[in-house]
């Protein structure tokens, strides 16, 4: 039996079959593991830093619907009726909804957006990325920086964005614009994401009577509806609030701009404290330095150097002002404040209005062609302004006083003796509009007051005991 050749053949055949089967199973296992490794590698290659940044930031970006009433008449028709009858009769209005974006900055429902997104809104709806919807109200806003702070009342936790450092940006680093262009997210949950780089920083431009300074420029597509949305870095951190575009077509052409996150923080702090921006008292009048002016003040050779072609000239200076106390004199050229290189008058005003109180602030200036340096300390905010043209003293209402009025504006705190306006206006009246310009704050009133010096008549709108009134003033 042991030497039976047939038996050995069977045994060898069975052994060979087992070996072949094992090899086939091993080969299949190798193929399975290879496929799994491939899938894992593909998955890892898809999950880039950009994808991770979007996952971190996009839940905190919301859709904002601002509903406002719009007159059926044109601005010219309203002006004609006002000039004809003195008051505009009731005019049919229609509701208009405009869509923008916002960013949740903490779990309690505080949302940062652009002022122009919610301007004149009578009702504001906020929709989150996870399909929740809330009513929002305005805590405060700043016309000049084009930022507004909203609040939604909810006990639910909301996803908040993580702040980045907009002073530490690298030209060429990744930048992601997250928002709701063209209202595409209406009816859906997810905002739109576009990717680009930080193209430049410290850009300045003027749009719709607003001067924007120190903007971040990006080539990430920013379109109508993106306003108020987030510009984030590769870590998903907020570095800017998308605001404006430069375009010949109305759509994105690779030149979008965002308000730096660090500036937004300063605005939020002041809005939270006062409900608006109250600039610090400086006691100085300045003007932009032209080439001709620089040549007269500094000499032809010095004025041709780029460092001397920028800055603002101190044209008037109060003796007790913080600027004077720091050693700056009339005729000096202020070239830098708090590390910000000053280009012109607009730039100077945009920088100083957000400076803190009771802190040493570095100030660089030029006197007789020589660079000098000092520290100034701002001690008080500008709460009062005297209009010589109108014979009125105006004050900025604080957050609590502002709640008593339907409009945002400035209060009449004093009327000069013998002023004929005293027949109509009273102390405590709130001025909220002059001609077609809304007077949000004392800052805006001061600008308008300078312009009405050349006008022969104006129409002034004010609120008293909840009633809206107006008066035509001829000079």
- Catalytic positions are 116, 146, 227
**Six-digit token string for 392:** 């009125």
Residues 6 or more apart whose Cβ sits within 8 Å of residue 144? 210, 211, 277, 350, 353, 443
CA distances from 460 to 76, 90, 292, 429, 456 (A): 17, 19, 39, 11, 13
Give phi and psi for 313, each to the nearest 5: -90, 130
Residues 6 or more apart whose Cβ sits within 8 Å of residue 76? none
Closest CA to 171 of 196, 199, 206, 131: 199
Contact assessment for residue 475 and residue 457, using Cβ atoms and an 8 Å cutoff? yes
Contact assessment for residue 258 and residue 242, using Cβ atoms and an 8 Å cutoff? yes
**Six-digit token string for 239:** 């570095």
CB neighbours (10 Å) of residue 45? 8
Contact assessment for residue 144 and residue 277, using Cβ atoms and an 8 Å cutoff? yes
Using DSSP bridges, classify how beta strands 237-245 and 256-260 pair: parallel, antiparallel or unpaired: antiparallel
Degrees to nearest 5, angle at CA 266 with 338 and 222: 105
Q: Is residue 186 left, alpha or beta, with left meaning phi > 0 and alpha meaning psi from -120 to 50?
A: beta
3-state secondary structure (DSSP) of residue 64 = strand
Strand partners of residue 414: 393
CA distances from 168 to 261, 322, 420 (A): 11, 30, 56
Strand partners of residue 383: none
CA distances from 361 to 95, 267, 348, 349 (A): 48, 18, 14, 15
């Amino acid at each position: 039996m042991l030497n039976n050749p047939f038996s050995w053949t069977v045994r060898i055949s069975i052994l060979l079959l087992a070996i072949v089967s094992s090899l086939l199973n091993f080969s299949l296992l190798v193929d399975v593991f290879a496929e799994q490794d491939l899938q894992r590698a593909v998955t890892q290659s898809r999950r880039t830093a950009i994808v991770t940044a979007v996952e971190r930031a996009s839940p905190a970006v919301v859709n904002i619907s601002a509903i406002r009433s719009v007159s059926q008449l044109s601005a010219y028709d309203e002006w004609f009726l006002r000039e004809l009858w003195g008051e505009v009769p009731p005019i049919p209005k229609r509701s208009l909804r405009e869509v923008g974006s916002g960013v949740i900055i903490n779990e309690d429902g505080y949302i940062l957006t652009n002022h122009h997104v919610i301007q004149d809104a009578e009702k504001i709806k906020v929709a989150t990325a996870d399909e929740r919807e809330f009513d929002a109200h305005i805590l405060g806003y700043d016309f000049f920086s084009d930022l507004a702070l909203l609040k939604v009342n909810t006990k639910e936790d909301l996803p908040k964005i993580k702040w980045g450092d907009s002073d530490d940006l690298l030209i060429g680093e990744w930048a992601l614009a997250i928002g709701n262009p063209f209202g595409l997210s209406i009816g859906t949950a997810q905002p739109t994401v576009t990717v680009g780089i930080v193209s430049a920083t410290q850009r300045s431009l003027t749009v719709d009577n607003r001067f924007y300074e120190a903007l971040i420029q990006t080539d990430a597509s920013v379109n109508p509806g993106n306003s108020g949305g987030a510009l984030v870095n590769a870590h998903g951190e907020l570095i800017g609030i998308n605001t404006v575009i430069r375009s010949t077509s109305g759509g994105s052409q690779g030149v979008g701009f965002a308000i730096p996150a660090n500036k937004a923080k300063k605005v939020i702090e002041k809005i939270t404290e006062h409900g608006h921006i109250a600039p610090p008292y400086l006691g100085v009048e300045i003007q932009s330095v032209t080439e001709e002016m620089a040549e007269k003040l500094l000499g032809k050779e010095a004025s041709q150097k780029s460092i001397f072609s920028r800055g603002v000239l101190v044209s008037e200076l109060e003796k007790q002002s913080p600027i004077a106390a720091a050693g700056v004199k009339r005729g000096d050229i202020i070239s830098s404040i708090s590390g910000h290189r000053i280009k012109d008058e607009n730039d100077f005003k945009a920088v100083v209005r957000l400076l803190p109180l009771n802190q040493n602030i570095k100030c660089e200036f030029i006197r007789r062609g020589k660079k000098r340096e000092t520290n100034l300390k701002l001690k008080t905010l500008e709460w009062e302004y005297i209009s010589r043209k109108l014979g009125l003293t105006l004050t900025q209402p604080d957050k609590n006083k502002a709640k008593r009025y339907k409009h945002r504006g400035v209060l009449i705190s004093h009327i000069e003796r013998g002023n004929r306006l005293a027949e109509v206006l009273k102390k405590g009246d709130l001025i909220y509009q002059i001609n077609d310009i809304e007077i949000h704050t004392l800052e805006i009133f001061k600008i308008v007051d300078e312009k009405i010096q050349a006008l022969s008549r104006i129409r002034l709108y004010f609120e008293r005991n909840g009633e809206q009134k107006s008066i035509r003033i001829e000079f």
